[in-house]
Amino acid sequence: MERNEGLADFLRARRAAMDPGRLGIHDAAPRRVPGLRREELAALAGVSVDYYTRLEQGRPITPSESVLDALADALQLDAAERSYLRAVARRPSAAGRRRNPRTVQKVRPGVHAFLARLGDTPAFVLGRRTDILASNRMARALLADFDAMPVRERSAVRWVMLDEAARSLFAEGWEKAASMFVGILRMDVARHPDDLRTAELVGELSMKSEHFRRWWADQKVVEPAHGSKTLRHPIVGRLTLHTEALTFPGDPDQSLFAFLADPGSPSEEALTVLSAWAAERAGSGRSEAAPARRRP
């Protein structure tokens, strides 16, 4: 059987992130390494030290549901991290992977029509490895013209990590936005551990971005959810928008992201102005994307 390095790496990272003091564990002398010791975590989870050690060593062990629940409770995992723990603990066999070849990602015609009917609401569909599978006119005007990019570069995490225009756009919250997409990519790796294109993307970003290397090593895990973002757009200026992420029924690998402004707010007015600008650009045959703001 194969070694389970994904589970081993995740357990070690999460154990190192635990604060012994918050658990009432105090030492007379400073610890040599951060986090809990293996024996402390094993005790919290109610498993033997030997069993837990073998899990962290990546031994070919399949933990039971009760053990996974106990480990998740001991590590104080959130819902996304619990889902990730189960995914990496249940890696499919090589034979099972051969029976389930990867298919090309496709967006249903109805979803394309829905995106087009959202009016002034920017929206896009996020797929495997954070690929932007579809976007409406407002998303391309607000964020970037993903349709104009080479297909293999239409990755949200690649765009936000490597594009200077993205860094300027998310100037007030770039690290939060970028680390979120890194966490979404890690969840995708757990669900599809042997995808060659994903491995190539992780390798490229690891070479080109120090932030990516650090966040990837931290084993950060995120599932698409709601939130808010403040953007500084080169055409309409500052916007504060709420984000909603909806996963399509029957397809957990595709999610709709939408950016919403409060009714009557300056941000809603800015989206109206941006919509008119994008319509004018589209009528003239020019790219819908806003020009990148040059950094001083």
pLDDT value of position 284:
66
pLDDT value of position 152:
87
pLDDT value of position 57:
93
pLDDT value of position 95:
45
Q: What is the DSSP string of 3-44?
A: --HHHHHHHHHHHHT--GGGGT---SS--SSSS--HHHHHHH
Domains of the chain, each with CATH number or no CATH:
5-91 (1.10.260.40), 109-283 (3.30.450.180)
pLDDT digits (tens), the chain, 296 positions? 578 889 999 999 999 999 888 888 777 667 778 889 999 999 999 999 999 999 999 998 889 999 999 999 999 999 999 999 999 998 655 544 544 445 678 899 999 999 999 989 999 999 999 999 999 999 999 999 999 999 889 999 999 999 999 999 997 789 999 999 999 999 999 988 888 999 999 999 999 999 999 999 999 898 888 889 999 999 999 999 999 999 888 788 899 999 999 999 999 999 999 999 988 877 666 666 666 554 33
pLDDT value of position 98:
46
**Can you tell me the distance from the alpha carbon of 44 to that of 52, in angstroms, rounded to the nearest whole number?**
11
Contact 31, 20 (CB under 8 A): yes
